[in-house]
Amino acid sequence: MPKITMKHHLLTIIRQTRENFIRLVESCSPEELNAVPRGFNNNVIWNFGHIAASQQLLCYLAAGAVPIVDEKIISSYRKGTRPEGFVGLAEIEELTVLMRSTIDSLSADLDTGIFDNYKAFTTSYGVELKNVADAVQFFAVHDAYHYGIASAIKKVINTNQ
C-alpha cells in the first residue's frame, strides 16, 4: 500500500473543496455569480477569486517568491477588496483554471525550496504562519470558509428569485 503523506492528504482535501466550489460556480449564471445580496458585501465570484489570490499571498509572496497568478487577479481579489464590476465569462473561466493549476503548481513547488525564505506573520484571523506548511494548512480552512460563504450567497439568491 502506498504511503500517503500529510501534504498529499491536505492537498487532496484542498482540491476537493475547490472542485466543489467549481461545481457551485458552474451551477450559476454570470448574473448570479455577480449578484451581491442584501446583507453581504461580496458575491460568489469574488469569493472564488479570493481563494486563488489569497493562496498566492499566503504562500508565494510571504516567502518572497514570484506568484504564479497574474497581479491583476491578486489585486482584484485580495483581502480588503470588494466586487468592483461585472465579472464576465472570460475571467470566470480564467479563475476556474486557476483553482486547479495553482494547487498543482504549489504541490510541485513545495519540493523545490522556493519557500525557504518564508517571513512569519500573524493573519487577521489571529493565526501565526511561520512557514509554508503552516500557510497550506491555514488556506485549506480559508478555502472552505469562502466556499461556505459563496454557498450561502447562492442560497439567498435562489430564495429571493
Q: How far apart are CA 79 and CA 30, in angstroms?
A: 22
- pTM surpassing 0.85? yes
Cβ contacts of 114 within 8 Å, gap of 6 or more: 60, 63, 65
The model's pLDDT over 84-131, given as tens digits with 9 standing for 90+, comes to 999 999 999 999 999 999 999 999 999 899 999 999 999 999 999 999
Helix count and strand count (H, E) for the chain:
6, 2
Angle, vertex CA 127, rays to CA 122 and CA 133, nearest 5 = 90
Domains contained in the chain, CATH given: 6-160 (1.20.120.450)
Rounded-to-integer distance, Cα 102 and Cα 68, Å: 7
